[in-house]
Structure 1
Amino acid sequence: MGGHFWAHIATWTFLCSVRVVRTDQDLEQDFDLNILPDVTKVNISQDEYVRMMTTYLHRLRDSADHDAVVPDLKIFDAEQNTWRRRKKCITRLKFPKMRLNPNTDIEQAELRMLMSEFPDAEAPVIQIYQIIGLRRRRLIEERQAYLSTNASKWCEFDITNGVRAWLLNGDRNFSLELQCSQCNTSVLQPLQVALSILGYSDKRRVRRASPYHDNNQQGGRTDCTTNSAKQRCCRHSLTVSFKDLKVPQISSIIQPKSYEAGFCKGRCPYNYNHATNHSRIQSLVHKLDRKAVPRVCCAPSKLAPLDILRVDPYDFTKLNVEKWDNMRVLECACS
C-alpha cells in the first residue's frame, strides 16, 4: 500500500506542477504582437497622442486593483513667431509660455513635430540641441527620422534629459535647435511643434522606478526585508524596461517605458507561507520522503495586470489602450 500511496502522491504532484513552456509565437499571439510595427509608417498626430495618453492616464488613476502613482500630462506649443531658420539644415525653436513648478519631477519629455514632406528618399539623422548660452549648446537627442516624400508626417524625439536640466537650472527661456547635416539640399521644415511632458507635480512624493508601481507594495506582506543569502521566500523588486527586452514587436509600446514587475525567490522551509493546501501536503510528503516529491518552490501567489498604450497594429495612425493580465507580481508564496 505504501508504494502505491507514494506513487499516487508523486503522480498528483507532477500533474499539478507541470509548467507549460511558452514560445515567442505564443507571446505574440497572446498580446496581439504578431504584426511587426513598421516604424517608417507610424504617424501619430498630436491630437491622437493627447487624446489617448489622457485616456491611458485616466485608466491608471481609476484602476480598481491598485493605487498607482500617476504622472500628469503637460503640453507646451512652440510659437511659430519665435522660430528662426539659420540655414536650410538648422532651425531654432522657443517655448516662451513653458511654465513648470520647480518641484516637478520629470518622468518623460517628448518633442513631437509635424514635419513637411522631405524629397530625399533616405531618412535623415536629426540632432536636437539645447541652447544654454550665446555660443553654447548641448546635444540631447539624435536619431533617424522617417519622413514622407509626399506628405507631412509626425516625428517624436526623447528630450527628457534636456527638460530636466532646464528645470534644475531654472532657465526662463527653453530653446532648442534642430540640425540635420544630411539636409543640405532640402529644407528641414517643421509645421507644428509640441512638447509633451509627463511629470509629478511635487518632488516630495516618493517616485517609484516607474509610475506604475503600487503604493501598497512598499512594505507589503511578502516583500523582502533583508539581503541574507539564506532568505526565505519573498518578493524582490525588478524593474523591466521594454526596450531592453530586444523583442521587435514590443517597440510599438508608447507607455509605460518600464514598470515594476517583481519576482519571487527564496527558501521554502517546512510549513512556511504555503500558497495552497496542495503545497502543504506536498511539503509534508517531502518531509517524509524527499525522493518522492520535490520541495515546494517560491512562486507568485498574487499577480496584477498592466495597462499598456501602444500603436494600433492595424492602423499606424492610431493608439490603443490595453490591459495585459498577470504582468506584475504582488505577493509570493511556497507552492
Structure 2
Amino acid sequence: MKLALLMLMVVYTVGNVSSMSTCQTVDLEMVKKKRIEAIRSQILSKLRLAKEPEPEQAGDKEEIPSAMLSLYNSSKEMLKEQLTEVQTDISTEQEEEEYFSKVLHKFNMTSKNDTYDKNSKSIPMFFNIAKIRQSVGDYRLLTSAEMRMLITKTNIPAKSEQRVELYRGLGTSAHYLASRFINNDLKDKWLSFDVTETLQTWLKGTEDEQGFQLRLFCGCSGTDQTMESGFMFSISGITIGRGDLQKVQQLNQQVPYILTMSIPQNVSTHLTSSRKKRSTDGKDTCTAQTETCCVRNLYIDFRKDLGWKWIHRPTGYHANYCMGSCTYIWNAENKYSQILALYKHHNPGASAQPCCVPQVLEPLPILFYVGRQHKVEQLSNMIVKSCKCS
C-alpha cells in the first residue's frame, strides 16, 4: 500500500513539472516545416512583395551585374564589422522601421580628384550628393553611411605608424571627423569611417557635390618624419602622379566609396535618424541531449526548401530557431519565480509560463531578382543567434 502511494506521488510530481515546461513533446520535423513557412512569409513581407515572383521571372539565367555583386559583397563586409559593435537601445518607433528591409546603395568617389601629388599632406575625395539624395530621399530615411577605402602598398618603417585624420569639407572650412593609425599590418585591408551624420547634413542641404579630406596628422613639433615624408601608403583608386598610365591602372582598382543603408521611401511612416547596432553575443546551440531553452540549428536552402530561384546570393542561410524548457525559472528558491507569481497575480490574462524566445538576432543581406532587375537589400532580424526564457 505504501509502495503504491509512493508511486502515485512520483507520477503526480512528474506531471506537474511537465505541465510547467514551455516545450511539450513535439514533432521536430513539423516545427521545422512551420519555421520554414514562417520564413517564407517573413521575407516576402520585409521585401514588400505581395507574392513571390513567378518561376519564369526568377532571372536565374541572367548575369549578375558587377556593380550589384560589388554592392552585395560590400554590405557583407560592413555587416561583419558592425557585429563587433555594442547594441544600443531602440525605441518603439525605431523597432517598427527596423522590421522592414533596408535599401543598400554604393556611391563611388567621383574621378574629379583621383590623383594627388607624391608629397601632398592631404587627399581630397568628392562625392555626388545629388545622386545620393535621389537614391536615398529624405535625410531622415538614412540609417547608416560608411566611407570605405582600401589601403595598398604600405611603406611605413617597422614599429612605426602614420596617423591620418578625416575632415568634412575642404580648406579652412573643414571640420574634423575622426582619426586612424595606419601601419604595415593594414596593407590590403579596408579603412572605414562612420559618416552618417555628415551625409545627413549634406542631404539636408542643396549642394550637388561635397568632399572629404584625408590629412596626415601634424604634431607641430617639427620633428615628425612620418609627416615630412608624405603618405607612406597608397589608397586603391587614388594614384600618385598624373598621366595616361595611371588612368589605365585605375580601371581595375577599387575606388573609395560610401555604403548607405536607408529606409525605403514607400514604407516609412515614422522617420528616424538613429543608428542601430547589433550585439555579438555567442549563441547557446542545442545538442541532441539539450532539453532547456537554446538555439536549434536550421539551415534554409532557398531553392530546395522554398523553391525560390530569384534570390541569387546567398544560396541559403542558418535561420535557426528557439526551443526548450524554461522550467528551471520556476524553482521555488528562485527570486524570479516569486516576481513572476506576483506579476501573474496582477495580470491574470498574461501567459502563465515563460517561453523560449530569440534574444539576439542578426540581419541578412541578399541579392535578388525582381521586376526584371537585380537588387540588394538587407533583411533585419533573420538569424537567431541566442535565446532566452521570457
Q: TM-score, normalised by structure 1?
A: 0.49
* Structure richer in helix, relative to its length: 2
Using CA pairs under 8 Å that are at least 6 residues apart, name the structure with larger relative contact order, 1 or 2. Answer: 2
